[in-house]
């Protein structure tokens, strides 16, 4: 059973910087904010501040190593143009868009600078706000309060222990599933929805191992058994050595069991060069059952390569075997995702059965504790 242990004294507000729209590599971005928001436009010598009136918006364009910033009326009429090194907008609700491609709503402080070959928009948001937004994207179909609290603890622990994951690019996290996906901002400030409530109820709680926060993993469905750590280096994964946990809570998940068929020729082609073994040898090894670390690591390598080349809807998880015959390869598996750590489908069922946040986290992370920092 998990217990609550103090980690340190001295509370402070943690912030998270998220780089957004990186997949689009934008050269033009539009920003719309609520009435009265303060905008700062900085050059090497001076800072210009301007208050945006209702309906006004910014168009930020890349011009070499500088920004071209245009203030526009709601009608599209041009009000003013600046050349700048960086644009920032104070904490507010705002809409960010890449014209003709994507439009999303956020809450926080926004900064736009010039990246290596595209614009670099970044959102700076309080950690607890980020937890609620990520929770909304991760558990959109969950209505179990204890499950949501457990997931909130994992999200917060991930953010705290993985800060600076994209430090080379100028921010902490990206906004894709590579890191944590921020859901669009819920503009109804009067509504305390279930995601905000779970964040409030678990505020400041972190999952720890041997007194230290670590990067916890979670998967959509484990398919009946989570995997033990299969790090090829033999070291504990992100500070915790994952153990295999038999899970009887997720058999109703649609991807508890799955299978797909791929042309063997295509599979051999995309597996060429990804491992010291030949593609034919790789398929022979994947035909054997078992979760020993070397084989589990190979399964993940193949899953990622097939996903990038043929789509992520084929090999759904790291638990699978292959059967090749007559030019086709049948792949049969269980679960969805990497199969490490918390099984989200199982955690939802545990919540339905009345299990508490500590019950859920203790089941999937044996040997861990909950700490407050």
Q: Are residues 344 and 330 in the same domain?
A: no
User: Contact at 8 Å (CB) between 215 and 338?
Assistant: no
- CA max distance for the chain: 70
Q: Are residues 100 and 150 in the same domain?
A: no
In a domain, 5, yes or no: no
d(CA 102, CA 307): 23
Domain match, 230 and 137 both: yes
Same domain, 278 and 317: yes
pLDDT at site 168? 84
Q: Residue 12 domain-assigned?
A: no
Tell me: do 83 and 219 sit in the same domain. Answer: no
Q: Do 235 and 140 fall into the same domain?
A: yes
Query: Does 266 lie in the same domain as 231?
Result: no
Q: What is the predicted pLDDT for the residue at 180?
A: 76
- pTM, two decimals, is 0.87
> What does the pLDDT profile of the chain (373 residues) look like in tens digits?
565 555 554 556 789 999 999 889 999 999 998 878 888 888 767 788 888 888 889 999 998 889 999 999 988 899 989 889 899 999 888 999 999 999 999 889 999 999 888 999 999 999 999 999 999 989 999 999 999 999 999 999 999 988 878 888 888 888 877 787 777 776 555 445 899 999 999 999 999 999 998 999 999 999 999 999 876 554 455 688 999 999 999 998 998 999 999 999 999 999 999 888 999 999 999 999 988 889 999 999 999 999 999 999 999 999 999 998 889 999 999 999 999 999 999 999 999 999 999 999 999 999 999 998 7
Q: Domain for residue 288, yes or no?
A: yes
- Helix/strand number for the chain, H first, E second: 8, 20
Helix (H) or strand (E) holding 267: helix 264-271
**What's residue 239's pLDDT?**
80
What's the structural domain count of the chain?
A: 3
Residues of the domain holding 43: 26-117
| Domain co-membership, 300 together with 201 | no
Dist. CA 71–CA 255, nearest whole Å: 49
**Last residue within a domain, chosen from 117, 139, 162:** 117
For residues 28 and 59, the answer to whether their CB atoms sit within 8 Å is yes
pLDDT of residue 350: 98
**CB of 156 closer than 8 Å to CB of 148:** no
Say if 122 falls within a structural domain: no
Q: Distances from the Cα of 14 to the Cαs of 17, 143, 161, 195, 342, in angstroms?
A: 10, 27, 12, 19, 25
Do 123 and 134 touch, CB atoms closer than 8 A?
no
**139: in domain:** yes
pLDDT (0 to 100) of residue 280: 94
Contact call for residues 148 and 194 (beta carbons, < 8 A): yes
Same domain, 227 and 354: yes
């Amino acid at each position: 059973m998990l217990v609550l242990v103090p980690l340190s004294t001295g509370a402070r507000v943690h912030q998270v910087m998220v780089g957004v729209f990186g997949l689009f590599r934008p050269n033009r971005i539009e920003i719309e904010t609520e009435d009265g928001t303060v905008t700062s436009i900085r050059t090497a010598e001076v800072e210009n501040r301007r208050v945006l009136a209702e309906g006004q918006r910014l168009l930020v364009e890349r011009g070499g190593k500088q920004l071209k910033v245009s203030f526009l009326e709601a009608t599209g009429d041009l009000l003013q143009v600046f050349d700048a090194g960086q644009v920032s907008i104070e904490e507010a609700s705002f809409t960010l868009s890449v014209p003709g491609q994507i439009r999303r709503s956020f809450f926080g402080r926004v900064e736009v600078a010039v990246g290596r070959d595209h614009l670099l928009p970044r959102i700076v948001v309080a950690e607890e706000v980020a937890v609620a937004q990520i929770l909304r994207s991760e558990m959109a179909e969950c209505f179990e309060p204890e499950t949501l609290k457990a997931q909130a603890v994992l999200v917060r622990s991930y953010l705290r222990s993985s800060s600076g994951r994209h430090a080379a690019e100028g921010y902490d996290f990206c906004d894709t599933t590579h890191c944590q996906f921020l859901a669009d901002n819920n503009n109804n400030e009067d509504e305390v929805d279930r995601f905000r409530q779970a964040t409030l109820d678990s505020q400041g709680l972190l999952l720890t191992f041997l007194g230290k926060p670590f990067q916890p993993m979670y998967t959509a469905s484990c398919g009946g058994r989570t995997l033990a750590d299969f790090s090829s280096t033999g070291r504990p994964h992100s500070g915790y050595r994952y153990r295999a946990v038999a899970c009887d809570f997720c058999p109703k998940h649609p991807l508890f069991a799955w299978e797909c068929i791929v042309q063997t020729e295509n599979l051999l082609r995309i597996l060429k060069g990804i491992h010291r073994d030949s593609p034919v040898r790789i398929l022979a090894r994947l035909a054997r059952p078992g979760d020993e670390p070397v084989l589990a690591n190979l399964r993940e390598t193949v899953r990622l390569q097939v996903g990038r080349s043929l789509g992520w809807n084929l090999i759904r998880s790291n638990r699978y075997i292959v059967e090749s015959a007559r030019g086709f390869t049948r792949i049969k598996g269980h679960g969805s995702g990497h199969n490490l750590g918390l099984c989200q489908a199982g955690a939802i069922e545990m919540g339905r059965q009345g299990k508490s946040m500590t019950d859920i986290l203790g089941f999937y992370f044996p040997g861990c504790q909950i700490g407050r920092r």
